[in-house]
Amino acid sequence: MKFMCVAMDFDGCLAYYNDDKTGLFKIFTDIGFTEDEARDAYGDVDEAEGISLNSLVRSLERKSGRTIDRNGLEEKLSSWIESSVTLFPDVLKFLEKVKASGTPIAIVTFGNKEFQTQKIKTSKIIYDELVVTPKDGEKFLALGKLLKHYGAPIVFVDDKPKELDNARKHLAETEISLFRIIRPIGSHINKDAEFEHPEIKNLEEILS
């Protein structure tokens, strides 16, 4: 099927952290927190508002009662992003094929806009449009705008069942094809979906 736009999530779909985020947590263990405390802070803000240095610091300060000196932390965060964000093996070839076909590429991701944009720029992937949604579960709003801009049908690939389910509830099957990608690394592998979504392991499967 010829799609008017190929839309994809970023984390767990196109890329992953090659250190399981241990480098991120080390930023905070180096200033006196335990890794468990850093992981708890990550869990608190991950789906609530998205990860950023500010959100992690606020969570740790709130729980510990400490005031954190942020001097030098942004630089450490940037260094960690550059060393840890890694593309899955099929991504670059797939994006090149889509680009060569003339089909627009959109990255639709949830989280803190600055943090997500920094990761995506670091990955050096090619795309035509980047949309960072501020609320978990609301990618369907961005997909609706892509439909209005590019026309139907479009395709959307994500590893998170919640986003795919919400897209199916709000957008017609004739307008958008939804695929759940199952990667060997990801935080949503064992989560159940409300609807049945075709499952793929390689992005090129959506082109067949």
Q: Residue 101 pLDDT > 80, yes or no?
A: yes
Q: Residue 197 pLDDT > 80, yes or no?
A: yes
The residues with which 129 forms a beta bridge, in sequence order, are: 106
Q: Residue 69 pLDDT > 80, yes or no?
A: yes
Confidence of residue 182 (pLDDT cuts 50, 70, 90): very high
Query: How big is the chain by its Cα radius of gyration, in Å?
Result: 18
Q: Residue 158 pLDDT > 90, yes or no?
A: yes
Q: Among 139, 68, 146, which residue's Cα sits nearest to residue 108?
A: 139
What is the per-residue pLDDT for 48? 74
Model confidence pLDDT, tens digit, residues 34-61: 999 999 999 988 777 788 999 999 999 9
Helices marked H in 2-52 = 22-29, 35-46
Q: How far apart are CA 120 and CA 123, in angstroms?
A: 5
Q: Residue 1 pLDDT > 80, yes or no?
A: no
Q: Residue 66 pLDDT > 90, yes or no?
A: yes
Q: Residue 92 pLDDT > 80, yes or no?
A: yes
What is the per-residue pLDDT for 105? 98
What is the per-residue pLDDT for 176? 98
Q: How far apart are CA 115 and CA 112, in angstroms?
A: 5
Confidence of residue 21 (pLDDT cuts 50, 70, 90): very high
Confidence of residue 24 (pLDDT cuts 50, 70, 90): very high
H/E stretch holding 153? none
Confidence of residue 188 (pLDDT cuts 50, 70, 90): confident
